[in-house]
Amino acid sequence: MAWFPSFLESRDSGWHFDVLILLAVIGGSAIAQHIPAITASGFSILPRLMPAPETFLETDRKKRMPGKSNVKVVGVNSGTLTTELNYFANLIHDVDSLKPYEFRVYEVKLKGTNDPENNHIEGIRGIRVKPFSWSHAATVFSVLITIGLFIAAGKVHDGVALLSLSLMALSSSTASTSAWWTPKLSTRTARCGVPAADLVIITRGCAMVVVKCDETVSRELYVGMDVCKFSLTEHWHHLLLGISTLLLMVSVVLFNNCRWEMQLAIGVAYFVLNIQYWMVALLVDPKSMWDLSRYDIKELVKSGGHNFTETLWLAIQSTESVKWAVRADVIPQTDLWNQWREMAEEQVQRFPAWDADYYVM
């Protein structure tokens, strides 16, 4: 008996493609990273093959984008304090990339004239997926591969392959449509004047980011809650998920009953699609997929502090206030640090070049 099968036939000594089911469902971690961008795009409704389509079959939709935990965000003047950085704010500042004691200053402004009634700015759209992004490119490539498989199935007269491809493509489209959403930011409807809404972001590694912004930007990106506005109600979401699940199960059964040529072609297609989405997950920054042109973002200062005291003093200098540090419990509660805080309150106005390190050494 030969060590390896020499025939591509459905008999004991031939190659079998039962592993095709595994190729169709693996790759969930790569897909999960980009599900928000995929389901927020109008391209998501296009029927196509997707690696790990079961990743989309979640009965509970996330009401808001995942924020960055273990980060304090404190208002310099308002005193508002949160322990999480919102998703889109983290795309801008990427706090995971900050080194311990690093210090930065940003200025974030709205472009155009703010229209609080519809969460848009006159002439400028809200946050959305970029029209030309790697997410869209991956979707278009998946559609082209699916079309190629349909043509191949027609060439070899494989009706089972045509049916299974149709059901799998519709399953992906139905699941994506059920989760179709757009970002909805918190808006400020009051017209009264308010002071500057500058903020300080403090990471677990004691890096600090000062953000100079107005109240509207503060609520949209940092203080308010960014929520997902879904196109379909919960009832329709569950109905489409049920249909998608049924289509997925039937298509998986049919895959193993295709002709061996089509099983091979579909297996190669899923292999390529998995590599594609893994490459997108590993090499593409999620920030590059979102259109943040709504905001004018400038990095004013970037420096690496040598210790906590130096970074804290840089932030106090930039904000000209110590109150926010007290509100966020940044300053240790000891006699020596209390003396330092009192001196810092005096020196920040009178002598900004004060040697803050000297008094706590």
Domain regions of the chain by residue span: 20-63+127-183+228-288
Specify the pairing of strand 114-115 against strand 295-304. Answer: unpaired
Highest mean pLDDT (candidates 53-62, 117-126, 205-214): 205-214
275, two tokens = 């590599």
Residue 202's nearest CA partner among 352, 336, 332, 75 is 75
Comparing 106-110, 138-142, 303-307, 327-331, the range with the smallest average pLDDT is: 303-307
For residue 148, pLDDT beyond 90: yes
For residue 277, pLDDT beyond 90: no
46, two tokens = 């296009």
Output the pLDDT for position 243: 95
Radius of gyration of the chain (CA): 27
For residue 94, pLDDT beyond 50: yes
Residue 263 to residue 2: CA distance in whole angstroms: 23
Output the pLDDT for position 146: 96
Q: 229, 184 in Cβ contact below 8 A?
A: yes
For residue 22, pLDDT beyond 80: no
* 305 C-beta neighbours (distance < 10 Å), count: 20
Mean pLDDT over 265-274 rounds to 90
Comparing 37-41, 71-75, 112-116, 300-304, the range with the smallest average pLDDT is: 112-116
Single-letter amino acid code for the residue at 246 = L
* More confident: 163 or 119: 163
Q: 232, 44 in Cβ contact below 8 A?
A: no
Residue 57 to residue 178: CA distance in whole angstroms: 9
Output the pLDDT for position 76: 94
Mean pLDDT over 96-111 rounds to 93
Residue 68's nearest CA partner among 179, 272, 204, 191 is 204
For residue 207, pLDDT beyond 90: yes
Residue for token pair 């709504």:
294
Q: How far is CA 354 from CA 16, 95, 317, 332, 347, in A?
A: 76, 28, 10, 20, 7
User: Phi/psi of residue 186, each to 5°?
Assistant: -70, 140
Specify the pairing of strand 227-230 against strand 290-291. Answer: unpaired
Residue 81 parent element (H or E): strand 81-85
